[in-house]
């Protein structure tokens, strides 16, 4: 009789734990990227009243064991890592992992993992979680390529700049008017001009003017003119020639190299003939307005003015000089056994003996999910399921309490036998 009472007590304890799990799930129904938990029960060991017997040669059959169970206990509490729905927020610092994987963060002493991407920029320019943990990844200097085997470091967006780049090539495209008259060298008439801004090694802008002159049908020459007091053309020849075929496409081009010097202390620029490129597809001659454009690959220095994050977690910086480059990348971790991670609060997890080590890399690689920008992952708590489980837990608790009260009444009758 006492066995049934203790079985009832174990049932009460188990169903109390079930309610604790359900209560925590419901409490976190609106917690960013929260993962709900489920609880399972197992029976305790059983007391054998009579051992089993085997059949005999005399024709007597075997008997089954007679056992009385001694109650229930919690077999496991598992975290359900199914992804929650992704909600658009419009905040550029809000990120969600669409698929498997965790953001990697640190509190300065240890490394943790989180699905909650509601990040912010702290006073030092670090990308951080709402509780101050720093988001880890790889920072990229100008011209550096990403190496995910390097040690992780906090993503820092402070004092990022882009050095100036001196012009090293010119690309010529657009339309030359086929109706242009032949150049009048005596009166310097009938020509087309096109300015191009180039940059020296210090990032200073200078203007070169290309003068296009028609010499015969489908045949042209050009001359490069100085248009900047701080720049001098030092090459012997400053021009070249090009032709078109009868269909208006570029036939041939024979540019001449260009050597430039600067009075502001910048390094001289030497453009070889191959560095002055006439686009064979986009440099054309038709009876239309002159619309020649010349693009160079140089730029001035600039400071970071904005940034964006792509699906692989690469941070693309937008600089004040109008240029863009990768400035970093977020680290994403996956685990052999995600359910083995331990919750430590603040939407963060840590590894355990049974989770396996973190496999860290870029989003979108190695089974890692992609990054959804301007979005957050919602909780995966299913309220309908939780309320159903709550009813089941309540009925289980109620039934186990009846075992105790009934056993108590039976004990009372036993005590009353001596009266």
Mind listing the domains of the chain with CATH numbers? 2-81+380-418 (no CATH), 89-161+305-374 (no CATH), 170-296 (2.60.98.20)
Please report the pLDDT score of residue 236 as a whole number.
64
Q: Are strands 276-286 and 192-199 parallel, antiparallel or unpaired?
A: unpaired
Tokens of 165: 């780049």
Residue 398's CB: how many other CB atoms inside 10 A?
11
pLDDT per residue as tens digits for the range 207-251:
999 999 999 999 999 999 988 889 999 876 678 999 999 999 999
Distance (Å) of CA 351 to CA 3, 17, 148: 40, 24, 21
> Which residue ranges of the chain lie beneath pLDDT 70?
1, 236-237, 419
pLDDT per residue as tens digits for the range 135-156:
999 999 988 899 999 999 999 9
Please report the pLDDT score of residue 58 as a whole number.
78
Contact criterion met (CB below 8 Å) for 122 and 128: yes
Distance (Å) of CA 119 to CA 95, 298, 315: 8, 35, 14
Angle CA(213)–CA(218)–CA(223) in degrees, nearest 5? 25
Q: Which residues contact 2 (CB under 8 A, 6 or more apart)?
A: 407
Instruction: Work out the end-to-end distance of the chain between its first and last CA atoms, rounded to an integer number of angstroms.
Output: 20
Question: What's the rounded Cα separation, in Å, for the pair 87 and 92?
Answer: 13
pLDDT per residue as tens digits for the range 23-42:
999 999 999 999 999 999 99
3-state SS class at 404: helix
Whole-structure pTM value: 0.81
Contact criterion met (CB below 8 Å) for 154 and 134: yes
Question: What's the rounded Cα separation, in Å, for the pair 371 and 365?
Answer: 11
């Amino acid at each position: 009789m006492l066995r049934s009472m203790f079985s009832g007590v174990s049932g009460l304890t188990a169903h109390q734990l079930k309610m604790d799990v359900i209560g925590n799930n419901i409490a976190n129904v609106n917690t960013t990227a929260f993962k709900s938990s489920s609880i399972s029960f197992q029976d305790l060991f059983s007391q054998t009243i009579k051992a089993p017997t085997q059949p005999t040669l005399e024709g007597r059959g075997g008997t089954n064991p007679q056992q009385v169970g001694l109650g229930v206990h919690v077999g496991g509490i598992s975290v359900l890592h199914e992804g929650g729905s992704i909600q658009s927020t419009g905040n550029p610092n809000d990120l969600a992992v669409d698929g498997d994987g965790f953001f990697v963060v640190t509190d300065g002493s240890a490394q943790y993992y989180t699905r909650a991407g509601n990040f912010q920029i702290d006073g030092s320019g670090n990308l951080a979680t709402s509780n101050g943990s720093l988001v880890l990844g790889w920072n990229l200097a100008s011209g550096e390529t990403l190496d995910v085997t390097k040690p992780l470091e906090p993503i820092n967006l402070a004092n990022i700049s882009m050095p100036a780049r001196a012009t090293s090539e010119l690309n010529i495209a657009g339309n030359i008017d086929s109706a242009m008259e032949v150049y009048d060298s005596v009166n310097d008439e009938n020509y087309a001009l096109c300015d191009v801004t180039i940059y020296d090694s210090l990032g200073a802008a200078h203007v070169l003017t290309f003068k296009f002159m028609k010499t015969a049908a489908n045949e042209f020459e050009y001359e490069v003119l100085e248009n900047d007091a701080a720049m001098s053309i030092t090459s012997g020849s400053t021009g070249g020639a090009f032709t078109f075929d009868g269909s208006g496409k570029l036939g041939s081009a024979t540019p001449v190299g260009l050597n430039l010097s600067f009075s502001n202390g910048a390094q001289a620029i030497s453009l070889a003939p191959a560095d002055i490129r006439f686009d064979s597809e986009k440099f054309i001659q038709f009876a239309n307005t002159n619309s020649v454009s010349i693009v160079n690959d140089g730029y001035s220095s600039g400071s970071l003015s904005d940034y964006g994050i792509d699906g692989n977690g690469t941070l693309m910086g937008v600089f004040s000089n109008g240029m863009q480059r990768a400035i970093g990348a977020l680290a994403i971790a996956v685990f052999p056994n995600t359910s083995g991670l331990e919750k430590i609060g603040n939407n963060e997890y840590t590894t355990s003996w049974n989770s396996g080590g973190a496999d860290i890399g870029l989003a979108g690689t190695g089974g890692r999910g992609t990054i959804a920008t301007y979005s957050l992952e919602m909780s995966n708590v299913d309220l309908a399921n939780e309320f159903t489980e709550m009813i089941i837990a309540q009925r289980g608790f109620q039934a186990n309490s009846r075992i105790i009260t009934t056993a108590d009444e039976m004990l009372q009758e036993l005590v009353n036998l001596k009266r």
